[in-house]
C-alpha cells in the first residue's frame, strides 16, 4: 500500500545544485517542502562542474559585457556573502582556490580580447608580476592576470546542503503527476511507494525536466549541448585558470585531489566544446597538444589521461546557444527550472522562492524508513582504473 504524505506547499524533483538551493531557500521562508531524487545527489551537471564561481569576465572577452556577464558578476557577489555565512550559510563548503589566472596565447587578436576583458566589468583582472607567478605559468611569454573567482568543490556544496536538510530528501522515481483540486498528486516509487499532494511542483532535474514536464502535462522544449571534459592526473601542481585565444577560452583548468592524494586537472573550455565531434583518441591528442600550446614547458611525464561526456541541459534557444540567463517557467502550479550555470543556481532559487508564500506552518519530513539518495561521485572518482591511459 502507498503511504499518503500530508499536503505540502511544494515538492521539488531533482537534487542537483538548483534543487538543493531551492529546498534551502523555501525552507528558510517557512514553506512546507520536500525533495525527491531518482538516482544520486548531483548526478550529471553539478558533479561534472569545474566549480568556478564565474565573476563575468569569461563572458566579456572581446570587450562586450552582455546579460550573461552582468548576471554572473552579480551572482558571484551573492556567493561571496554565502561563503561568509550570510543567508544560505556555505562556510562549510570546501574552497579549492580564491582566485584563477587568466593568460593569453600569442597574437594580436588575443591581446585585444584580453584588453576587452579588463574594461568590460567592475571585477577586473589584475596583472601578476613575473616573480609572483605560480611555477606552472612561469614560462608564459605574455601577460598573466589574476581573477577574483573562487573555485569550490561542487560535491562538498551538495554534501553541506543535503546534510542541512536531512529528512527532507528521499530516493524515488516520479511515476505520475496529476491534478487534484488546486494541488498536484505525485506518485513516487522508492524503497516503498508514497503519494504526495503538493500545491506546487518544482522541476529541477536537469536533463530529466523535459520528460517530467510532459508527465505533468506542462511540456517544455529542452536542448542538450554536449561536452567532453578531459582529466589528467599525476605529479602536477594545483592549477586554476583560463587560457584565452581571441574571444574564446582555449582551455580552462581547475584542480583537486583524488582519494589517494594525487592531483587531478579537470579541463574544460573550447576543447570540451569541440570534444564530442572527435573520436576519443583524437580528443586525447588534441587536449594534450592544446595544453602544451597554452602552458610552455608543461611536463606531463608520469601522468595519465581520461575523459567523459556530459550534456548541458537547458531551455531551447532559437540558435541553440547557451541561454544568457537562468531560466524558470511556471505553467499553472508546475515550475520548470534550469540554472544554466552553477554560479546562477542560488540566484534562480531565491527568485522562485520569493514568489511562493507558505500556507502550512508544520515543517515537512519524509517517513524515516524511506531510502536517502547517495552523493554522486566526482568524474575522476567514478572512472575505473583501465579508463586512464598513460601520457608518454
Q: Say if 237 falls within a structural domain.
A: no
Q: Which three cell numbers stand for residue 105?
A: 596565447
- The reported pLDDT for the residue numbered 245 is 83
| One pLDDT digit (tens) per residue for the chain, 392 residues | 578 898 999 999 999 999 999 999 999 999 999 999 999 999 999 999 999 998 655 554 544 334 455 677 778 889 999 999 998 999 999 999 999 999 987 654 555 455 555 544 445 678 999 999 999 999 999 889 998 889 999 999 999 999 999 999 999 999 999 999 999 999 999 999 999 999 999 999 999 999 999 999 999 999 999 999 999 999 999 999 999 887 688 999 999 999 999 999 999 999 999 999 999 999 999 999 999 999 999 999 999 999 999 999 999 998 888 888 899 999 999 999 999 999 999 999 999 999 998 886 678 999 999 999 999 999 999 999 899 999 98
β partners of residue 183: 180
Q: Which three cell numbers stand for residue 204?
A: 529541477
Q: Say if 388 falls within a structural domain.
A: no
Q: Are 259 and 378 in contact (CB under 8 A)?
A: no
Distances (CA, A) of 327 to 21, 192, 202, 285, 315: 14, 33, 13, 36, 7
Give the whole-angstrom CA distance, residue 200 versus residue 197: 9
Rounded to the nearest 5 degrees, what angle is found at the Cα of 147, between the Cα atoms of 269 and 89?
95
Q: Say if 264 falls within a structural domain.
A: no
Q: Which residue, 38, 332, 370, 366, is CA-closest to 184?
A: 332
Give the whole-angstrom CA distance, residue 118 versus residue 68: 16
Within 13 A of 22's CA, how many CA atoms are on the CB side?
35
Total number of domains constituting the chain: 1
Q: Which residue is associated with the grid cell 543567508?
A: 87
Q: Say if 197 falls within a structural domain.
A: yes
Neighbours of 135 (CB within 10 A): 8
- The reported pLDDT for the residue numbered 322 is 83
Q: Which residue is associated with the grid cell 581547475?
A: 254
Q: Which residue, 3, 26, 13, is CA-closest to 350?
A: 26
Q: Say if 353 falls within a structural domain.
A: yes
- The reported pLDDT for the residue numbered 64 is 37
Q: Say if 216 falls within a structural domain.
A: yes
- The reported pLDDT for the residue numbered 392 is 85
Domain that includes residue 374, residue range: 3-46+157-223+316-378
Q: Encode pLDDT of 127-182 as tens digits.
A: 999 999 999 999 999 889 998 889 999 999 999 999 999 999 999 999 999 999 99
- The reported pLDDT for the residue numbered 62 is 46
Q: Which three cell numbers stand for residue 152?
A: 569550490
- CATH code, 322: 3.50.50.60
- The reported pLDDT for the residue numbered 153 is 98
Give the whole-angstrom CA distance, residue 262 versus residue 275: 25
Q: Which residue, 70, 53, 60, 51, is CA-closest to 249?
A: 60
Q: Which residue, 334, 261, 358, is CA-closest to 13?
A: 334
- The reported pLDDT for the residue numbered 221 is 95
- The reported pLDDT for the residue numbered 114 is 56
363 Cα distance to chain centroid: 28
Q: Say if 116 falls within a structural domain.
A: no
Q: Say if 203 falls within a structural domain.
A: yes
Q: Which residue, 29, 6, 7, 9, is CA-closest to 349?
A: 29
Q: Which residue, 160, 158, 193, 187, is CA-closest to 174?
A: 187
Q: Which three cell numbers stand for residue 225?
A: 549541448
Element (H, E) at 86: none
Three-state secondary structure call for residue 26: helix
Q: Which three cell numbers stand for residue 134?
A: 605560480
First to last CA, the chain: 60
Strand positions, DSSP E, 279-375: 304-315, 327-331, 334-338
Give the whole-angstrom CA distance, residue 97 versus residue 113: 25
Amino acid at each position: 500500500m502507498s503511504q499518503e504524505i500530508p499536503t505540502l506547499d511544494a515538492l521539488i524533483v531533482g537534487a542537483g545544485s538548483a534543487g538543493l538551493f531551492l529546498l534551502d531557500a523555501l525552507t528558510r521562508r517557512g514553506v512546507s517542502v520536500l525533495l525527491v531524487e531518482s538516482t544520486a545527489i548531483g548526478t550529471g551537471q553539478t558533479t561534472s562542474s569545474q566549480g568556478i564561481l564565474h565573476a563575468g569576465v569569461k563572458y566579456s572577452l572581446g570587450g562586450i559585457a552582455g546579460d550573461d556577464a552582468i548576471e554572473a558578476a552579480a551572482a558571484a557577489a551573492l556567493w561571496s556573502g554565502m561563503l561568509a555565512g550570510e543567508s544560505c550559510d556555505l562556510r562549510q563548503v570546501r574552497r579549492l582556490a580564491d582566485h584563477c589566472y587568466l593568460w593569453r596565447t600569442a597574437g594580436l587578436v588575443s591581446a585585444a580580447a584580453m584588453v576587452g576583458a579588463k574594461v568590460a566589468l567592475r571585477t577586473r583582472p589584475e596583472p601578476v608580476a613575473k616573480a609572483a607567478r605560480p611555477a606552472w605559468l612561469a614560462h608564459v611569454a605574455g601577460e598573466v592576470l589574476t581573477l577574483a573567482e573562487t573555485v569550490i568543490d561542487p560535491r562538498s556544496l551538495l554534501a553541506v546542503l543535503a546534510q542541512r536538510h536531512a529528512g527532507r530528501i528521499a530516493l524515488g522515481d516520479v511515476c505520475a503527476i496529476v491534478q487534484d483540486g488546486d494541488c498536484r498528486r505525485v506518485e513516487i516509487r522508492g524503497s516503498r511507494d508514497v503519494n504526495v499532494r503538493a500545491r506546487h511542483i518544482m522541476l529541477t532535474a536537469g536533463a530529466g525536466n523535459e520528460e517530467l514536464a510532459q508527465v505533468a502535462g506542462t511540456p517544455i522544449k529542452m536542448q542538450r549541448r554536449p561536452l567532453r571534459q578531459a582529466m589528467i592526473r599525476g605529479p602536477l601542481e594545483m592549477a586554476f585558470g583560463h587560457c584565452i585565444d581571441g574571444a574564446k577560452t582555449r582551455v580552462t583548468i581547475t584542480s583537486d585531489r583524488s582519494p589517494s592524494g594525487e592531483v587531478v586537472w579537470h579541463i574544460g573550455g573550447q576543447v570540451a566544446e569541440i570534444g564530442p565531434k572527435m573520436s576519443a583518441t583524437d580528443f586525447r591528442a588534441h587536449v594534450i597538444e592544446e595544453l602544451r600550446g597554452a602552458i610552455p614547458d608543461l611536463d606531463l611525464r608520469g601522468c595519465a589521461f581520461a575523459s567523459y561526456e556530459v550534456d548541458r541541459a537547458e531551455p531551447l534557444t532559437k540558435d541553440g546557444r547557451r541561454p544568457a540567463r537562468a531560466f524558470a517557467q511556471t505553467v499553472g502550479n508546475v515550475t520548470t527550472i534550469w540554472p544554466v550555470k552553477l554560479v546562477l543556481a542560488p540566484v534562480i532559487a531565491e527568485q522562485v522562492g520569493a514568489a511562493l508564500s507558505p500556507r502550512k506552518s508544520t515543517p515537512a519530513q519524509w517517513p524515516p524508513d524511506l531510502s536517502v539518495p547517495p552523493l554522486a561521485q566526482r568524474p575522476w572518482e567514478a572512472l575505473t582504473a583501465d579508463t586512464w591511459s598513460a601520457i608518454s
